[in-house]
């Protein structure tokens, strides 16, 4: 009987290990794959091209700007995450700043008609929400002083 007990423990350990590996593999399979930012930027540039009837050079600028700005925004998010900063308002400020830069470029490269159409497609609401958050932050900073 004494020689059988270590074998049982070994078999139990192997079985437990196999279960853990199986669970880990199935958890990895179920994880939804996060889309690549470059792919999202390309899709957004294509959407704006269709909706706003952009010329090729405008689409190029939109695509390039989105890829650059989103990459920079992600770098800032990552640096906050690495620093263990959990203040959501800081993340929102970063997002607002980069979205504002994107809209500034859009305003320069879009025609007046395209800009108006962009604003109607949701750009105006996003700009208004950013301005509202910015005003609230200024008010809060003044209240702290």
Query: 57-100 pLDDT, tens per residue?
Result: 999 999 999 999 999 999 999 999 998 888 888 888 899 999 99
Confidence at 24, pLDDT banded by 50, 70, 90: low
Query: Rounded mean pLDDT of 43-66?
Result: 95
- What residue spans define the domains of the chain? 1-31, 37-144
- Full-model pTM: 0.67
Q: Which three-class secondary structure string do you get for the chain?
A: CCCHHHHHHHHHHHHHHHHHHHHHHHHHHHCCCCCCHHHHHHHHHHHHHHHHCCCHHHHHHHHHHHHHHHHHHHHHHHHHHHCCCCCHHHHHHHHHHHHHHHHHHHHHHCCHHHHHHHHHHHHHHHHHHHHHHHHHHHHHHHHHC
């Amino acid at each position: 009987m004494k020689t059988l007990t270590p074998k049982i423990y070994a078999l139990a350990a192997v079985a437990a290990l196999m279960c853990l590996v199986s669970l880990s593999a199935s958890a990895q399979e179920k994880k939804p794959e996060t889309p690549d930012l470059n792919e999202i930027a390309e899709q957004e540039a294509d959407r704006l091209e269709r909706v706003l009837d952009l010329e090729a050079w405008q689409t190029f600028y939109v695509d390039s700007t989105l890829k650059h700005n989103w990459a920079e925004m992600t770098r800032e998010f990552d640096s906050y995450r690495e620093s263990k900063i959990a203040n959501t308002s800081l993340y929102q400020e970063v997002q607002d700043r980069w979205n504002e830069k994107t809209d500034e470029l859009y305003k320069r490269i879009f025609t007046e008609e395209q800009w108006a159409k962009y604003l109607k497609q949701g750009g105006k609401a996003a700009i208004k929400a950013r301005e509202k958050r910015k005003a609230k932050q200024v008010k809060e900073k003044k209240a702290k002083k």
